[in-house]
Structure 1
Amino acid sequence: MTTGSAPYTERTVTVRDGVRLAVRDQGPVDAEATVVLLHGLCLDQRSWERQIHHLTRRWGARIRIISYDHRGHGESDSAPTSTYVLEQLAADLADVLAVLDVTGRLTLVGHSMGGMVALTYLGRPPADLPVQPHGLVLVATAAGRLAERGLARLLASPATDVLCKFATRAPARAVRLLTRPVRAAMARQVGDHSRAALAKLFDTANSAASLATAVGFLPSLRSYDQYGVLGSIRAQATILSGGADVLTPASHARDLADKIPGAVHVHLPMAGHMLLHEAARAVTDAIHNTITTALGAEPAPAALAA
């Protein structure tokens, strides 16, 4: 298949517990550099379309771009709710890298929950890392303490526990009906801006992933903490944050930049959580700069003009 002028292959990667992940693999297997794109909760790999388009125009066949839908999202299989944890998503990432034989200079790029997957992957024992990334681009994400800041403080609400309980036991329609009163109860705890973001989040959950999937990940997000990993990261890291992000406020990005050696923090004061769309060029440039450093050269002028 093709996207614009770039051919890609749709693959199915079966991870160790039998769940099948929908993968898009673009570029030669022996490319000089590989970029793996990890989407956020309630989204899917299509959220990276702008970045894929611009990176392909810049680098052509010199890079390989891999994106996939996390379990329970997009075209990938659903799975038992007990597996909706970040550690499992990190294991899925390891399986994808191994099955697709990723060997070139690797840049991991994660948005929101996808960034948390990347950090959880880096927290695995060295023997469980099929590839050590050269580059790391973290977009609107955090190392932990989600329930302490911004809209994610709602993770600590008793209403979240109620929603999690019903999502695993009630039929899908009943869960959706439950969403309205729970959403209203949770939204009363925040301001107008946050209330609008919360409503959008729930609406997205209903369309891009099942509500059971979306809610199933909440306990893992509440307990998520990879602060202890940050000081040991040796990849070239770029952190992007938005000043209007109520889900992962910029204070999370500052923590990441302060604790990851040599990290660069790019802050976009007027942007919100969906930086892939609100600041698409900034995200693409961060990935481009990481590839440039990995390869020690800019793309050829012909590629830039393509």
Structure 2
Amino acid sequence: MKRRTKVAAVRGGLATAGVVGALAGVHALRRAGAKVLWPALRDEYRDENFDLIEQDRAGAVLTEDGVRLATRECGPADAPVTVIFVHGFCNSMESFHFQRRDLEKRWGASARLVLFDQRGHGRSGTPTAQSCTVAQLGRDLAAVIQATAPTGRVVLVGHSLGGMTVLAAAAQFPELFAERVIGIALLSTAAAEVTAAGITQLLRNPAIDGFRVAVHTAPALIQAGRSTARHVITPILHVSSYHGQVSPTLSRFTTLMIDQTPVETIVKFLKAIELHDESAALPTLAHLPVLVLGGTRDLVIPFRNSRALARELPNSELIRLARAAHMAHLQFPDIVNGALDRLLVRAGALEPADQRPSEVSSG
């Protein structure tokens, strides 16, 4: 009887924490100027096939500590350049849906696209808490490069935590970046100082601190009560993804992707993001063409982080999206894809668009 009472009390406490956390998160976002609802006049993605990636060639990469990373790829296996996409916190490789959909057609035989789920995300394996560091993600990326593109030229595209992953790889493997990496895209990300603003400030409230403790002391109970846990952290990620009008279907797609991230993964990586500082990697990238892109409405990684990155990277193109929040590559895919196309041209991997052979209809 006492045990039942104790379990009930814990569950009741979690439910209360969930409500308090949700209210605290929404209050923090409102105070920062975010809109909690995303109205839309039309749903242009109602018939969009967001499972497109399931058609791609599936594979896996085993990391140095035995975590299995799920991969997908499309495009010719012998393409002269491989473009590897690295997703963000609480996302999966599907977050690059529009890049995979449109750039495969645009680049044709010129490039192969490789996407993968970071450890603890999507279809990839579950890591230990100790291995959930940005430095380890950098080593994971190096393993993905070695396994999926052991030779040839490589372009890396990182969003949010994925951008931090790219920087961590550059810090640890400068020879790889000097010899084989020919271009970098850093989308809605930061080299350091994410503790001063953005997601770590938004997630600092008593309910979330209590939730972190609960995850470490009773992870099985937390995992079983995912609906409660979502109310603590994920509402902040939901409402900070977009700004202004957005397709309801796209909004649901993003929300589902966030909600499918295991609760333990969310908590394990929060501290890693807070401690992250990959500024030492920037000199390694100084010789490369770089795309730096951020949104002025991004509450997770504020645009000033993008501006700071561009200042340190002399060969960078800085794009400021005035209406974009954190998921700019999903809300404004045409702008992002055009910028990635220009990056490959600057990297020497593509001819300028007006010099490429046009598509010939077979009639």
- Normalising by the residue count of structure 1, what TM-score does the alignment of the two structures yield? 0.85
Q: Which runs of 5+ in 1 are unaligned?
A: 188-193
1:40-51 equivalent positions in 2, closer than 5 A = 40-51=88-99
Deviation (angstroms), 1:167:
2.1
Q: How does 1:201-280 map to 2 (within 5 A)?
A: 207-233=259-285, 234-280=287-333
Amino acid across the alignment from 2:352: E
* Superposition deviation, residue 4 in structure 1: 7.0
Match of 2:100 among 52, 56, 67: 52
Compared CA separation, residues 52 and 155, structure 1 to 2 (3 A): same
- Cα-to-partner distance string for 1:168-210 (whole Å, 9 max, x where unaligned): 3322135753554x559x98xxxxxx99439x9x965762310
**Deviation digits for residues 100-143 of structure 1, max 9, x if unmatched?**
23433211101111111011111114357696421111111111
The structure whose Rg is larger is 2
Corresponding residue for residue 30 of structure 2: none
Matches of 1:5 and 1:160, distance apart in 2:
34
Matched to 1:226, the amino acid is E
Change (3 A) 1:304 1:108: farther
Q: Which amino acid is 1:177 matched to? A: T
Q: Output aligned runs, 1:116-127, within 5 Å.
A: 116-126=164-174
Structure 2: 5+ residue stretches without partners: 1-50, 242-250
User: Percent same amino acid at aligned positions?
Assistant: 29
Moved more, 110-119 or 164-173: 164-173
Counterpart in 1 of 2:187?
139
CA 1:158–1:219: 2 relative to 1, 3 Å: farther
| Partner Cα separation in structure 2 for residue 37 and residue 5 of structure 1 | 13
Contact 1:257 1:265 in 2 (8 A): yes
Which of the residues 55, 60, 66 maps onto 1:18? 66
Residue of 145, 167, 172 corresponding to 1:97: 145
Deviation at 1:44, TM superposition (A): 0.6
Distance 1:258 1:19, change over 3 A: same
The alpha-carbon distance between structure 1 residues 178 and 91, as it changes in their structure 2 partners (threshold 3 A), is same
Q: Flag the 1:286–1:216 CA change in 2: closer, same or farther, 3 A.
A: same
Aligned to 1:35, the other structure's residue is in SS state strand
111, 130, 142: which one pairs with 1:82? 130
Distance of aligned partners of 1:131 and 1:38 in 2 relative to their CA distance in 1, 3 Å threshold: farther
- Comparing 32-41 with 7-16, greater Cα deviation is found at 7-16
Q: Distance in 1 between matches of 2:228 and 2:141?
A: 34
Partner residue, 2:240: 197
Task: Give secondary structure in 1 for the equivalent of 2:172.
Answer: coil
How has the CA–CA distance of structure 1 residues 296 and 175 changed in structure 2, closer, same or farther, with 3 Å as cutoff?
closer
State the distance in 2 between where 1:107 and 1:230 align.
16
Question: Structure 1 residue 156: deviation in Å?
Answer: 5.2
- Match in the other structure for 2:213: 165
Residues 164 and 218 in structure 1, CA contact (< 8 A), matched pair in contact too:
no
In the aligned structure 2, how far is the partner of 1:133 from the partner of 1:304? 32
Does the 8 Å CA contact 1:34/1:106 hold for their aligned counterparts? yes
